[in-house]
Amino acid sequence: LTLESELRRAIERQEITILYQPIVRLEDRSVAGFEALARWDHPKLGRMAPGEFISIAEEIGLIVELGMFVMDQTAKQLAIWQRAMRSREPIFASVNISSRQLLRHDLIHDVRTVLSRSSIARGTLKLELTESLVMENPEHAAQMLTRIRELGTGLSLDDFGTGHSSLAYLQRFPFDTIKIDQSFVRTTSRGTRPVILKSIIALAHDLGMDVVAEGAETDSDAVELYQLGCEYAQGFAFGEPMDADAAMRLLTEER
Ligand code: G
Ligand code: G
Ligand code: MN
Ligand code: NA
């Protein structure tokens, strides 16, 4: 069996695992939400990261099915978490969207379907899209994203800083959150980092967007990010991607 046909079978049988990485409020380190991250448990090769199979799913034309599965599972899981912690501000969950899902498929229909199947608080399902994805076809992407946002979906600009466009240019897209790429955040990339981070954070806030710093690995990263005005962070300092039960324990233990 080829890797392609094995992946085809795994997607058809919904044998994809979804892990959830916490995104915390730097103010008090409470969990604000989770990012859904797909894994494929291959019978011989073991657990595979998305870098090893997302592009194959795109090649064999199953990225839309995979994406729909991740969105639907995540929304259902989010409903379970929200029911378990009813008294607090509802947490959110974000899913990664690939180019084909947005630009060559009716993502609006899929989002509407997912939202109708699960009872989650409005605005708590978020989609993550990269700069390079929306820049592939800015006109079409802006139209689609505006309609998707109107359905009551959050939109995060993922891996910010790795593309070529300016934040001001991106104002024409209806993003409510930007996620600063790990390369600006990790301790290993010190140097001009604070200056760049501070500027990105200030500009994002001026444009009315929330900021999530990715790749916060240490406590001192977290402290520094908070001092720079960043309100949310994600990274090993707060938790690695974990299964849904571990995420539930994290939520119920902290209240
Ligand atoms: O978890 P890990 O660091 O290996 O993820 C690497 C990248 O894979 C993430 O940054 C994300 O953009 C992408 N990814 C993870 N899960 C999904 C998914 O369900 N769909 C798509 N399209 N990309 C994903
Ligand atoms: O591309 P995207 O940003 O969507 O995916 C985030 C990826 O980064 C995940 O695959 C996750 O495993 C990884 N990641 C999350 N936190 C950290 C961190 O603190 N350090 C590093 N090096 N990687 C991280
Ligand atoms: Mn992401
Ligand atoms: Na990212």
Nearest CA to ligand 2 atom 21: 215
**208-233 tens-digit pLDDT:** 999 999 999 999 999 999 999 999 99
Residue 94 CA to ligand 3 center (angstroms) comes to 8
Residue 180 CA to ligand 1 center (angstroms) comes to 15
Model confidence band, residue 194 (pLDDT cutoffs 50, 70, 90): confident
What's the chain's average pLDDT? 93
- Cβ-contact 40, 16 below 8 angstroms: yes
Compute the chain's Rg from CA coordinates.
Answer: 18
The ligand 2 atom at the shortest distance from the C-alpha of residue 179 is 3
**57-88 tens-digit pLDDT:** 999 999 999 999 999 999 999 999 999 987 77
- Whole-number Å distance between alpha carbons of 132 and 123: 24
- Whole-number Å distance between alpha carbons of 4 and 47: 16
pLDDT of residue 196: 85
Protein residues with CB under 6 Å of any ligand 1 atom:
37-38, 49-51, 54, 67, 70, 96, 98, 241
pLDDT of residue 190: 55
Domains detected in the chain: 63-239 (3.20.20.450)
**151-180 tens-digit pLDDT:** 999 999 999 988 777 777 888 999 999 999
Residue 186 CA to ligand 4 center (angstroms) comes to 13
% of the chain beyond a pLDDT of 90: 82
The ligand 2 atom at the shortest distance from the C-alpha of residue 21 is 15
